[in-house]
């Protein structure tokens, strides 16, 4: 199930990236950069590696595709080498924590979806039609 959800996240992210390339909304770009850097940070934490990006470190829009592809590869590695019940120990600015892998993966998917919805609202307020990124729509249209 998590393989499908992470695949959905990557596909939905690609749809948003394409929409952002057609517009000039710096606030939406900053928020989507956060989506990608947060995915990067979680993947690196899970793998026990040092993240190379900060959670709100702005990435150029031209780097979105490459960062998304890198994140997808990291999550593929995680799914093929880790167990969903594995406890992941990590630290952030708020302290040291421990969660199992499946809870973290659910958070990554949910966090990404939450912010894509915010970006859709930004696009709509700017007079644009936001792209469809709902899981069921992508399934129904054979994009997943």
Domain boundaries, the chain: 2-137
Residue 46 to residue 41: CA distance in whole angstroms: 9
- Looking at residue 37, what is its pLDDT? 98
Cα angle, residue 29 at apex, residues 138 and 102 outer, rounded to 5°: 50
The rounded mean pLDDT for the chain is 97
CATH 2.30.30.60 fits 2-137, yes or no: no
What residue has token string 């998304």? 68
Residue 4 to residue 43: CA distance in whole angstroms: 16
- Looking at residue 50, what is its pLDDT? 96
- Looking at residue 84, what is its pLDDT? 98
Average pLDDT of 94-108? 97
Residue 46 to residue 86: CA distance in whole angstroms: 10
Reported as a single tens digit per residue, the pLDDT across 110-136 is: 999 999 999 999 999 999 999 999 999
Total residue count of the chain as it appears in this document:
144
């Amino acid at each position: 199930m998590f393989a499908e959800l992470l695949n959905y996240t990557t596909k939905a992210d690609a749809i948003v990236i394409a929409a952002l390339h057609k517009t000039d909304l710096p606030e939406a770009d900053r928020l989507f950069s956060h989506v990608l850097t947060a995915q990067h940070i979680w993947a690196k934490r899970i793998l026990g590696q040092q993240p190379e990006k900060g959670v709100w470190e702005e990435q150029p829009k031209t780097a979105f595709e490459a960062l998304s592809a890198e994140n997808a590869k990291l999550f593929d590695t995680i799914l093929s080498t880790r167990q969903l019940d594995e406890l992941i120990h990590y630290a952030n600015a708020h302290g040291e924590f421990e969660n199992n892998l499946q809870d973290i993966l659910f958070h990554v998917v949910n966090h990404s979806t939450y912010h894509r919805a915010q970006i859709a609202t930004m696009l709509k307020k700017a007079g644009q039609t936001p792209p469809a990124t709902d899981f069921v729509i992508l399934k129904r249209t054979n994009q997943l």
